[in-house]
Amino acid sequence: MNIKEIRELAQLLREIPEVGSIEIRRWFGRGIVITRNGLTAGGGVPPAAVAARPPAVSTAAPEAAAAPTAPPLKEIKSPMVGTFYTAPEPGAEPYVKRGSRVAVGQIVCIIEAMKIMNEIEAEVGGVVREVCVEDAQPVEFGQVLFRVDPNG
């Protein structure tokens, strides 16, 4: 992906206010995420991931576009590079899953880095709406692990 294509995607975000971010995933853990706040490099993508298509432009009636939208989800991001684990040990129940309620400071996962198991705590409370990484997958610094609805 070249800089011209990235600029075109950023322009798409400016033109369509309903779209908060665009994520492009490629083979071998490479990819990018473009959000309204800026551009960040992504990574740690499972090899089975494919390139995401840019969202389609909405053709809904103007009245529907004026309807209030849901508040944005808050993200829990990886504070380090390592391997993501959903549970404290193999076969155990995950710390959280989709639909779980979390509180600030609650352990949500483990990231193993240099043979050290680091417990990752929620920085925001609410309901987990999305688990963005699969168990035992590599993650990069700043990669989104969970999306949480603070009003849920």
pLDDT digits (tens, 9 = 90+) for 54-106: 444 444 555 555 556 667 899 999 999 999 999 999 889 999 999 999 999 99
Name the domain count of the chain. Answer: 2
- pLDDT class of 120 with cuts at 50, 70, 90: very high
As a whole number of angstroms, the distance between CA 121 and CA 138 comes to 18
**Domain limit, last residue, from 39, 69, 99:** 69
Domain hosting residue 55, numbered range = 1-69
Per-residue tokens: 118: 């680091």
Q: What is the CATH number of the domain that holds 113?
A: 2.40.50.100
pLDDT in tens, 23-35: 776 665 566 676 7
Confidence check: pLDDT of 49 > 70: no
Question: Are 34 and 77 contained in the same domain?
Answer: no
Average pLDDT, the chain: 77
pLDDT-derived band at 22, boundaries 50, 70, 90: confident
Domain identity same for 76 and 65 = no
What is the predicted pLDDT for the residue at 111? Answer: 94
Q: CA 17, 21, 26: angle at the middle one, nearest 5?
A: 145
Whether 63 and 125 share a structural domain? no
Residue 79 and residue 49 in one domain: no
pLDDT of residue 40: 41
Looking at the chain, list the stretches that DSSP marks H as alpha helix, in order from N- to C-terminal side: 3-15, 62-65
Q: Are 58 and 103 within one domain?
A: no
Examine the domain organization and report whether 41 and 78 are in the same domain: no
DSSP secondary structure code for residue 60 in this structure: -
* The length of the chain, given as a count of residues: 152
